[in-house]
Amino acid sequence: MDINSAHQKTSKPFSLEKFYISEEYGFILPNPLTELPEYYGPWMKIAKNLPHLIEKRQLRSEVHMMPELNIQYLNGHRELRLAHLALSFITMGYVWQEGEQSTVKVLPRNLAVPYYEISQTLGLPPILVHADLVLANWKKRNPNGPLKIENLDPIVSLPGGESLRGFILVTFLVELAAVPGLKAIVQTVDALLQRNAKLLHHALHDLAKSIEKMTEALKQMHDYVDSEIFYTVIRIFLSGWKDNAAMPEGLVYEGVAEDPKAYSGGSAAQSTILHAFDELLGISHSQESAAFLHRMRDYMPPHHKAFIEEINASPSLQQHILTTKNQQLFHAYNECVATLVKLRTYHIAIVSKYVSLAGVNAKAKGGKIGSLYVPSSALEERGTGGSPIMSFLKNVRDATKDVMIS
């Protein structure tokens, strides 16, 4: 189904289908393509060889030799998504190949022009986003096998080996665990419109169960991702050029505009799931946190962002529950909030291990680990999106707690 026809198909007032969200995969792109038409061979050849080219410091020269290709031969949403994925990975590798020390000021036009045009067509920014890294970057080893890590691989990669594979695929599994939760959102809104307490209770129960499953999926990060590799190899390739001391001027997209542009790096803060849950549950974040989170919505596929806005425009769940004074509904709502607090608390522990502690360890080892990619102190305290990490995450978690009905 083409994305535009999906938008027009509005059988129900509020449905996943209306926002091009899959019943089976949620925000994940169902069965992404792994190859582009032959004309785009030069992109895919580089994209599929990135870890090697970056490790050998050959990526920049390979990019300089790439022909400037026209995007007119890309057909349909899935080809555009694969092209965005490939050029995003190439761009991150190009910018960060030499670590923070020798960054570039200009993205050459043979990469910048088609990348920018594809981004415009998709309504995405010209930088690696969660929708590339995780949502459009998966394939099954055995097409008839299960959606389990052992049977999955990313389509394109960057340095970081098995840990990068794990980071991408565990995040994929968290997205997958959220699918019943997305269906529960639609049911909740339906139930509110119908004023159907039984249906509402049922939907909130499903939502809490789904959030619990997301936390379970997130726990697998420990099994598949090594914190030292995450910190010293992977993290820099997710960094952007907004509020980043290593690239204070941003990046010029040659042939697109003369002024440099600033974009935040890839982060699961760009995943639509928690934004959608927050809107449904009526969680309002502090001005500063909300400013960052709202900015991240511009890094989502536009139809996913529209889904969040539609939830916001729906009748208020919180108000409804307070008005009904129904104890069962109080309890079911609080259960959703409590499981979301648990998920956010668990996520804070993950960030503390993979960023804060890993940073302390990398510093203690000094130059001994010999990685080009250990961030300078300017990056350490900040997330890939440029936010001061821990206070931001605790603030967001605490605002979640605040909506508990007592």
Q: Is 347 annotated as a binding residue?
A: yes
In contact, 85 and 118? CB cutoff 8 Å: no
304 vs 27: CA distance, rounded Å: 7
Q: Which residue, 19 or 277, has its beta carbon nearer to ligand HEM?
A: 277
Distance of CA 140 to the CA centre of its chain: 20
* Residue 240 identity: G
What three-state secondary structure class fits 251?
strand
In contact, 149 and 220? CB cutoff 8 Å: yes
64, 101, 132, 292 from 87: Cα distances, Å: 14, 23, 10, 25
171 binds ligand HEM (CB under 6 A): yes
97 binds ligand HEM (CB under 6 A): no
Burial 64-80 (b: 16+ CB within 10 A, else e): eebeebebeebeebbbb
Region near ligand HEM per CB under 6 A, out of 43-51, 67-75, 269-277, 365-373: 269-277
Q: Which residue, 153 or 381, has its beta carbon nearer to ligand HEM?
A: 381
303 vs 306: CA distance, rounded Å: 5
Q: Which residue, 350 or 369, has its beta carbon nearer to ligand HEM?
A: 350
Region near ligand HEM per CB under 6 A, out of 10-18, 82-90, 153-161, 344-352: 344-352
Name the helix (H) or strand (E) containing 94. Answer: helix 76-96
103 binds ligand HEM (CB under 6 A): no
**First vs last Cα of the chain: how many Å apart?**
46
* Residue 64 identity: H
In contact, 332 and 204? CB cutoff 8 Å: yes
Parallel/antiparallel/unpaired status of strands 139-140 and 106-107: unpaired
For 98-207, strand residue ranges (E) read 106-107, 139-140, 152-153
103 vs 260: CA distance, rounded Å: 14
DSSP conformation class of 163: H
Among 355, 362, 374, 379, binds ligand HEM (CB under 6 A): 355
Region near ligand HEM per CB under 6 A, out of 12-20, 119-127, 151-159, 262-270: 262-270
User: Which residue's Cβ has the minimum distance to ligand HEM?
Assistant: 383
244 binds ligand HEM (CB under 6 A): no
In contact, 136 and 22? CB cutoff 8 Å: no
317 binds ligand HEM (CB under 6 A): no
What does the radius of gyration of the chain's CA atoms come to, in whole angstroms?
Answer: 21
In the complex, the smallest distance separating the C-beta of residue 142 from ligand HEM, rounded to whole angstroms, is 24
In the complex, the smallest distance separating the C-beta of residue 203 from ligand HEM, rounded to whole angstroms, is 21
In the complex, the smallest distance separating the C-beta of residue 74 from ligand HEM, rounded to whole angstroms, is 28
Region near ligand HEM per CB under 6 A, out of 67-75, 321-329, 363-371, 389-397: 389-397
Among 107, 135, 251, 269, binds ligand HEM (CB under 6 A): 269
For 263-397, strand residue ranges (E) read none
274 binds ligand HEM (CB under 6 A): yes
Region near ligand HEM per CB under 6 A, out of 117-125, 150-158, 167-175, 330-338: 167-175
In the complex, the smallest distance separating the C-beta of residue 284 from ligand HEM, rounded to whole angstroms, is 13
In the complex, the smallest distance separating the C-beta of residue 274 from ligand HEM, rounded to whole angstroms, is 4
Q: Which of residues 13-52 bind ligand HEM (CB under 6 A)?
A: none
- Length, in residues, of the chain: 406
Q: Which residue, 103 or 267, has its beta carbon nearer to ligand HEM?
A: 267
Strand partners, 152: 140
Among 149, 268, 369, 399, binds ligand HEM (CB under 6 A): 268
Region near ligand HEM per CB under 6 A, out of 11-19, 87-95, 113-121, 392-400: 392-400
Q: Which of residues 366-385 bind ligand HEM (CB under 6 A)?
A: 383-385
**Binding site listing:** 347
List residues binding ligand HEM (CB under 6 A): 167, 171, 174, 218, 221, 225, 230, 267-269, 271, 274, 344, 347, 350-351, 354-355, 383-385, 387, 389, 392-393, 396
**Binding site listing for heme b:** 347
